[in-house]
Structure 1
Amino acid sequence: MASFYDRKILPALLTCACSSPPMMKQRAKVVPQAQGKVLELGIGMGLNLQFYDPAKVESVAGVDPAAELRVRAQAAPRDPRLVVEVADGTAEALPFEDASFDTVVCTFTLCSVHTPRAALDEARRVLKPGGRFLFCEHGLSPDSDVAKWQRRVEPIWKRLAGGCRLTRPVASAIAEAGFALERVETMYVPGTPRIAGWNEWGSASA
């Protein structure tokens, strides 16, 4: 059973951190590119739902292992024309058949999954041939001084932030999982501590 912290305090902290204006601006750079049948890994509180274009998206299936977050996702703002299904599941063991989706969206999720490579392998499995993987993730900074502090802070950070890691690579991990990177952009997100602010976003094909 989840602890009181995980059930009551953590969702509120994640909502505050993940829905800040700079973070929402980053989401808005990626999510509107989705089209067809879409899978969102780690849908969380449903913060991305407002950015999907129902003229391009047939449906959105979201998975998340946290019941408290799935409830919030079901109630999250979105265009009423958007067809959304939120399911219990993990990114490493998706409850979907091979080649089921045109687009997989992954925003601020790879930092907290147990096994990033397994999650990426699953994303490739459920994508149709030529399907697109849209990502926006924070991760390991290329600056040695920042990376040093990321490694120092990470042990306590991940306990307080629901398993979130600060030192995971992003674009390189996606490429190593067999995706063909199409576009990658990077920056430190404004208004965010640099240890958690290095952001990589873009697209890749299966």
Structure 2
Amino acid sequence: MTPDQKGHKWFASIYDSMTARAERTFMKDVREEIAGGARGRVLEVGAGTGANFPYYNDQTEEVTATEPDPYMLQRARRRAEGIGRSIILNQASAEHLPFEDASFDTVVSTLVMCSVGEPLRALSEVRRVLKPSGELRMYEHVRYEHAFGAFWQDLITPVWRWVGAGCHPNRDIAAAVREVNRSRGRASSSGATLL
């Protein structure tokens, strides 16, 4: 069992209140764009407490969500029930998605790849389950391009990993997406959108 599958009970219990201000301000717009733009058969990887759930609209045929942390998954289940939306929930890590190849039209990932154990493997799994014409809709922490910002990210990461249940705000997720696209024979991010 991975640390995520054991769970972060304390972090799950404070996550929604800790992020409430961000959710009322800029994250609302982010979630409207990322989740609200999802179409067809949707997979949300790392659903956390289900903060994206209210933003999925009629353009989605079916929404399936994965979350490895059982405490976060409990809260996601309550949120889905609270909004009256049918969402299929699975306890699974992003590195080991229990789905057939090319089975989703859209994959949604918000603030997830900073916390997974193996980002390249997780992104490869996302690419595997995404249809060739599908779309990856992401919002992630990204590594600063300028040295000063990157220095501060590197400085806070050891503490933030502990506070934020494994979050590494200094990961270069954009480079990881490009690497997975190259390894899958795609020179660009066609078929996937990194927002």
Query: How would you bin the TM-score normalised by the shorter chain?
Result: 0.7 to 0.9
Contact 1:58 1:83 (C-alpha < 8 Å) held by counterparts: no
Amino acid paired to 2:152: W
Is 1:136 paired with 2:139?
yes
**Aligned equivalents of 1:159 and 1:88: distance in 2?**
22
Structure with the largest fraction of helix: 2
How many residues are paired up? Answer: 182
Is 1:112 paired with 2:115?
yes
Structure with the largest fraction of strand: 1
> For residues 25-44 of structure 1, what are the structure 2 equivalents within 5 Å?
25-44=29-48
Contact 2:8 2:69 (C-alpha < 8 Å) held by counterparts: no
Is 1:13 paired with 2:18?
no
**Aligned equivalents of 1:18 and 1:170: distance in 2?**
22
Is 1:73 paired with 2:81?
no
Alpha-carbon shift at residue 139 of structure 1 (Å): 2.0
> For residues 140-151 of structure 1, what are the structure 2 equivalents within 5 Å?
140-151=143-154
Alpha-carbon shift at residue 130 of structure 1 (Å): 1.1
Is 1:160 paired with 2:168?
no
Contact 2:142 2:174 (C-alpha < 8 Å) held by counterparts: no
Amino acid paired to 2:193: S
**Aligned equivalents of 1:30 and 1:111: distance in 2?**
17
**Aligned equivalents of 1:83 and 1:144: distance in 2?**
45
Runs of at least 4 residues of structure 1 off by over 4 A? none
Secondary structure of 1:164 counterpart: coil
5+ residue gaps, structure 2, are none
Contact 1:158 1:165 (C-alpha < 8 Å) held by counterparts: yes
CA RMSD of aligned residues (A): 2.4
Is 1:181 paired with 2:189?
yes
Question: What TM-score does the superposition give when structure 2 sets the normalisation length?
Answer: 0.84
Alpha-carbon shift at residue 181 of structure 1 (Å): 2.6
**Aligned equivalents of 2:136 and 2:155: distance in 1?**
31
Q: 1:101 aligns with which of 86, 90, 104?
A: 104
5+ residue gaps, structure 1, are 184-201
**Aligned equivalents of 1:6 and 1:139: distance in 2?**
23
Contact 1:38 1:60 (C-alpha < 8 Å) held by counterparts: yes
Question: What TM-score does the superposition give when structure 1 sets the normalisation length?
Answer: 0.80
**Aligned equivalents of 1:93 and 1:45: distance in 2?**
20
Q: Please identify, of 15-24 and 100-109, the stretch whose mean Cα deviation from structure 2 is larger.
A: 15-24
Amino acid paired to 1:51: Y
Contact 1:18 1:24 (C-alpha < 8 Å) held by counterparts: no
**Aligned equivalents of 2:164 and 2:146: distance in 1?**
23
Amino acid paired to 2:44: E
Q: In 2 relative to 1, CA 58–181 (structure 1 residues): closer, same or farther, beyond 3 Å?
A: same
Q: Percent identity?
A: 33
